[in-house]
Amino acid sequence: MKALITGASSGIGREMAKYLSSKGIDLVLVARDEAKLEDTKKEIKTNVEIITMDLSKKENCLSLYEQVKDIDILINNAGFGVFGEFTETDLETEINMIDTNITALHILTKLYLQDMKKKNSGYILNVASIAAFIPGPLMAAYYSTKSYVLNLTKGIYEELRHEKSEVKISCLCPGPTRTNFLPTAGVKFNTKLATAEYVAKYAIDKMFKGKLVVIPTLKIKTVMFLSKIIPHKIIARFTYIIQEGRR
């Protein structure tokens, strides 16, 4: 088997690469940071190809698809967040985030899913967040991108189920995890964070079982449950208070 992982240079993506390699799966690892990709490559036991690429650019996504064919697993992990008041955050940075978190994922999912459906086999794991379930004041655009990822995945899942396809698609929704994401987004957490290794292994295991929404910890499962019964206007107020304390 062969897996393509975006955002594979650090954090959850890197741990997913190591875990899949331990299962004997060959890898194609994609990220912007070549040096970190090379470091990841040193920890891989199976065949591995690294591709340094900025997936916020549509043409690069199309080029990646042309370069890498016949994969069995697609993991869309590339993404980042922007913290701050919506009227004050930098527009170009947010557009770049939207292109990375949404557009790149959309393109790669569509192209590789078309191939997988023809073979009637394959796995796709889209990485969203707990942010997908609730409104996110002070990270409004980021939360919205993750809602897109979750709902896109759910829609595709039902299409595949209706067609009785053997292709499996899942969406990982982790909570705060000990990765480079938080410093990049400019967010601080004082609570205990899940490890990237735990989240990665849990997600991969659930992906192979065909689980639609993958939630790694009980705390995040509780948040998801509360998001269904508490009005989002109230959730937004509490989220704002929590986010403001992380400045």
Active-site positions read 142
pLDDT over 70 (residue 63)? yes
Question: Which CATH superfamily, name and number, covers 2-244?
Answer: NAD(P)-binding Rossmann-like Domain (3.40.50.720)
Instruction: Label residue 185 by pLDDT band (50, 70, 90).
Output: very low
Q: What percent of the chain has pLDDT over 90?
A: 77
Query: Which residue(s) pair with 123 in the sheet?
Result: 73, 168
**236 CB-near residues (< 8 Å, 6+ apart):** 134, 135, 136, 137
- CA–CA gap between residue 42 and residue 44 (Å, rounded): 6
Q: What confidence tens digit (pLDDT) does each residue in 145-159 have?
A: 999 999 999 999 999
Choice between 221 and 105, residue whose per-residue pLDDT is larger: 105
Instruction: Tell me the domain boundaries of the chain.
Output: 2-244
- CA–CA gap between residue 205 and residue 209 (Å, rounded): 7
